[in-house]
């Protein structure tokens, strides 16, 4: 084992990085829980949006997506299952992006919104989870 990898394994997460990660993750969690919750209620805005996306105004599908969103978000919010939750949310957000591509939504405001959320999901997790930091390290260039 090299000295650099031994240091990386034992290096603690800085307090500022951990709190930044918690805040970033908290924002994502609140947003996705709200998004999932409104899909559980058959409000016209939900069914109209589903119809615009080409899925019809199915209340059953909206509720199913709401349950999936909430379950994945809860998994993400619990530290032992946070990486699994992040993986599942990545897939979910990728599907949302694909749906926006299919209907030719505006690129930066609608289509890439899933990418923005995904970056916040993984960024927040990377900042607060030392195991993930070791798995996906950003290495500094050593001076020659």
Give yes or no for residue 27 having a pLDDT over 90: yes
Q: Is 10 helix (H, G, I), strand (E, B) or coil?
A: helix
What is the Cα–Cα distance from 127 to 132, expressed in whole angstroms? 9
Instruction: Give the tens place of pLDDT for each residue, 16-26.
Output: 999 999 999 99
Instruction: Give the tens place of pLDDT for each residue, 104-119.
Output: 888 998 889 999 999 9
Instruction: Give the tens place of pLDDT for each residue, 28-61.
Output: 999 999 999 999 987 888 888 888 888 877 888 8
Distances from the Cα of 59 to the Cαs of 34, 64, 90, in angstroms? 17, 9, 24
Instruction: Give the tens place of pLDDT for each residue, 62-105.
Output: 999 999 999 999 999 999 999 999 999 999 999 999 999 989 88
What angle do the packed helices 15-40 and 59-77 form, to 10 degrees? Answer: 160
Number of Cβ atoms within 10 Å of the Cβ of 112 = 16
Measured in residues, the chain has a length of: 144
Sign of the CA dihedral with 96 first, then 98, 99, and 104 last: positive
Q: Is 89 helix (H, G, I), strand (E, B) or coil?
A: helix
What is the Cα–Cα distance from 122 to 132, expressed in whole angstroms? 9
pTM for this model (two decimals): 0.83
pLDDT category of residue 137 using cuts at 50, 70 and 90: confident
* CA proximity to 128, closest of 12, 11, 6, 17: 17
What pLDDT score was predicted for residue 6? 45
What is the Cα–Cα distance from 14 to 19, expressed in whole angstroms? 9
């Amino acid at each position: 084992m090299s000295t650099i990898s031994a240091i990386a394994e034992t290096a603690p997460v800085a307090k500022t990085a951990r709190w930044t990660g918690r805040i970033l993750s908290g924002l994502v969690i609140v947003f996705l829980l709200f998004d999932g919750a409104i899909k559980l209620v058959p409000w016209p805005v939900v069914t109209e949006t589903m119809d615009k996306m080409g899925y019809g105004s199915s209340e059953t599908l909206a509720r199913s997506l709401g349950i999936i969103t909430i379950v994945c978000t809860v998994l993400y919010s619990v530290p032992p299952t946070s990486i699994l939750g992040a993986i599942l949310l990545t897939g979910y957000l990728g599907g949302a992006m694909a749906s926006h591509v299919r209907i030719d939504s505006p690129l930066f405001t609608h289509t890439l919104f899933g990418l923005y959320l995904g970056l916040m999901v993984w960024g927040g997790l990377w900042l607060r989870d030392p195991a993930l930091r070791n798995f996906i390290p950003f290495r500094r260039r050593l001076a020659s």
